Chains A and B, each alone.
Chain A
Amino acid sequence: MRHDETLAAEMQRRGVSRRAFLKYASYVASLMALPPSAAEALAEGLAAARRQSVIWLSFQECTGCTESITRSHSPTLENLMFDFISLDYHHTLMAVSGQAAEQARLEAMAANKGKYIVVVDGSVPTKDGGVYSTIAGISNLKMLEETLRDAFAVVAVGSCACFGGIPAAKPNPTGAVAISELAGGKPLINISGCPPIPEAMTGVLSYVLSFGKLPELDHLGRPKAFFGETIHDRCYRRPYYERGLFADGFDDHGARQGYCLYKLGCKGPVTYNACATLKWNGGVSFPIQSGHGCLGCSEPDFWDQGGFYRPLPTPLGAMGPALAGAAVAGAALGVGAALAARSHQKTYLAASEKEKD
């Protein structure tokens, strides 16, 4: 893989014009809610960049995150991301295995010292010296430490890498922890979700590649462009919520009418993610559209929050009438809704904590 020429030169060699960068940049700017005027700067940044070396480490995970990023893309626009990066190590996807694979990782680290990005899916077991997950005889703990040493930044993809996820669910037998606990001060981006939305992964990598810096992050290290609003903020069933029209069962009248799924345990009001707007499978649908409440999979400890079908504890209507108008405008939903949802989330977490005690 040639890392010395610019992406523009490489694409030109393959007969692709600069329009490809412009088009891709419009797509990313739109995804990340950047002003459309930023698209040209993004396109220029990408065209002038060199292929970004990426080392992808998979630890305690189910490979769902890799499935998400590799299988939901067409060989056209969205897939261009794979022309912009050089995936130098990914033990599930690479052809070689064993010693040769580990050699590729070490070579990429040496060749791109201080410049490569480490992507991690899965949590890291720390109990008993980290013996519960090893690759090529190396514990995840040691491999992460070794690989992060000369990295430019680390991107934790999926809720296991971001927050410990399912491996860290009670009773957490392996002492699984999030990457943030082991990142040792390296710039870190969390892209949570089980799995994360593929556009969030490609959007963030494109941003870093173009601008050489991290996008704006929330208090949990997640890019605000994708985690700035709750599912509830953008849910198309919201007018039913505001009117107090709920499904009480999965097969009752309310469910058939498409009423709000709050009483069936929907965690949309306390879950920050972009499923309601970007959706899944190329924009086809998302859980709520398919009739099931949000599980809250992009939030910390979602597995241990007291049951997927238990309604959120805050009394109904707490976020009610004041937001009714805004719910229709959707795009106009902003600070007010975010604050209301944030306080709702706090109440929810406090109630869950109380229950644990």
Chain B
Amino acid sequence: MKVSSARWKSRLDGTIPDQLAQEIDAFELEIELRLQDKVDEKIFAETRLRRGAYGQRYDNGQRFDGTETRQLAYPEKSSKGPGTIWDAPGMLRIKIPYGGMNPEQLEVLADLAEEYSDGIAHVTTRQDFQLHFIHIEDTPTLMRRLAAVGITTREACGNSVRNVTACPFAGVCTDQAFDVTPYAHALAMFLLGHPDAQNFGRKFKPTFSGCAQHSCGLTAMHDLGYTAVTRVVDGEEQRGFRFVVGGGLGAVPDQAKLFDEFLPPEEMLPIAQAIARVFGRHGEKKNRSRARMKFLIRNWGMEKFKEEVLKERQSLPDDPRWTEYLDGVADDVETPLKPAGDFPTVTGNEAYDRWFSTNLREQRQEGYVTVSVALPLGDLTPDQLRALADIVRRFTNGTVRTTVEQNMVIRWVSKSDVFDLFEALTGAGIGEPGAGNILDIVTCPGTDTCKLGISSSRGLTAELRSRLAKKSFEMDEAISNLHIKVSGCFNSCGQHHVSDIGFYGVNRIVNGYQVPHFQVVLGGQWEENGGSYGLPIVAIASKRIPEALDRITDYYLRMRQKNERFTQFVTRVGKGQIRQVLDDLTKNRPDHDDDPSFYSDWGDPREYSTGDVGIGECAGEVVSAYQFAMTDAERMVFEAQLFLDAGNVQGAGTEAYRAMVRAAKALVQIKYDDVADDADEVVEEFRDRYYDTKLIFDPFAGGKFANYLFAAHSKVGATFTSDTARHAIEEGQLFIEAVHGCYNRMRTAGLSESTEMS
């Protein structure tokens, strides 16, 4: 053990709750045992994940350096899990239930970011913090230092109940039914380490929202979504929750389904426990890609799911914790430090005016506002965290929260302090304007640190931000109010489905080279708790995304009807029309030698690669045939969307299926030129040549995407609903991406067409 780790351990002895201290000690021991090879690597991997210690890009010991894949010569050859080298740095995810923090916690986080990570604390889209480039031996010390100020990393990752999120404005929002904070806190504490929540096949995400109309809680995309509602019975107001279940983003998003219009608070915890038991018992365990709760609900239907849960609820032994917390529930538990006031008069300060126009929000309590601290890409330095702690202490009673838009919100600021607070924030480099507007782009880690990243979501976001920063305050309000969200791959951690304009990373072959691309996703809705999901319309090279964004926003500005919101506009003009505006961006790509930068990603000068691929070795007739077929398949899946937009759900579902068959045929043709058009034959050949051989298997998702084809093929002729047609389109698009991925891997492995066909 490092000298400083031993010192922290003895210094913090007695300051950490016993249970937590024992768990951290046990984890420390497991680290030791794993090093001695006395714990299986798979078991250790899940153990560390449940402790919040996650893998990070290149921890398999390989890195493509722009010319070739090189081995990173880590000295310790043991592993932290399958394919994960012991010495490779990783990420630590730190749970912040409902985003609630205090200044002492900010300071500890600052010290940890400085001493153990790369000097940046990152706010995630689940109101967590993440620290990167952490060494596994240091994690128990980080956990102890966090635990000493009431923070845990437990169950931040792995197949567990993830951070319970909630509106950062809960308790102070003008539109809330009531303050959801104590309920979110109670659920988080109840489920943390609960024996009934340890046996899941996948993660499980709860959230709370104070109202239905705004986006703060995003209940529609959660496994458990609680929206505060009230009703009057016999003249008395009662609190409850509109309770939805089984939502989720991920590759194929699902809107959560209604479980109960009015779930009384006394039933909130027992029903959550019953759901955890049902999900633990009946949820998929083997096939990770179908293990989220939404699949159980899809398989069973909502009626059966609810029936099982209610049956389980009846069988639960009473637990006093179900209602104990209700005694302490009261609104306005937070108090202000300063008396309520009025805004000071400030003239001639353009920076202040901009910041004031975007970063402030009136509280329900007269004379107070909340102040959003806009964090570029969700990042903060240790000095900024300490400055923020000072500011929060100076102006409030220590009330600050993280947000799912990767910002911080300071609550209970007296209006009379607003200018002083602005100056304090600006002095610390965190007084940027634009919170919640087009500049405030949400992004996942992408290829910077995520093992699954395909394109550089952070690189693109930084580029878009720097371009938009120059003009966002001259823009028409219709544009500046748009939301943009970026994910590095289809997994949707950047929540691209619930933004006006979303992007997710994919790759394409151009002139024989891999080129990073982003799918442009339009029509999602951030408001109404993520009320509808967008669909991809076209893949565009990363370096052309800024141009694509300009075109989309210009087109919207020119063609919108009075007060027409972006989602309404997309529905009215149709995605086909918008796609035409972008069409030439998918063509006339520069030759590699003329513009090599086109073949690399934003913020990364290396020639782009999704794996360890050699370049430019594959060309000729068969490639053209493949590309031709894939262009067809992409067109067909897009047409499916147009059908869906036009209300033709049957046509949409059928066309999405046909697109999959077309893409499957593109691959089959590489090995078997004479394959017929008949879908049965294509699917059979595809299964034989690509599924049974595992060639189509994604390194992380396995055969999941091919199974979409098989499932669709087995259901030919079935009737589609708008939900199932939408799923068919999403699955069609993902299957096409999987075909692209397979093709790229084959090229890399030298299984080029000519070799295979000879």
Report if A and B associate in a common complex. Answer: no
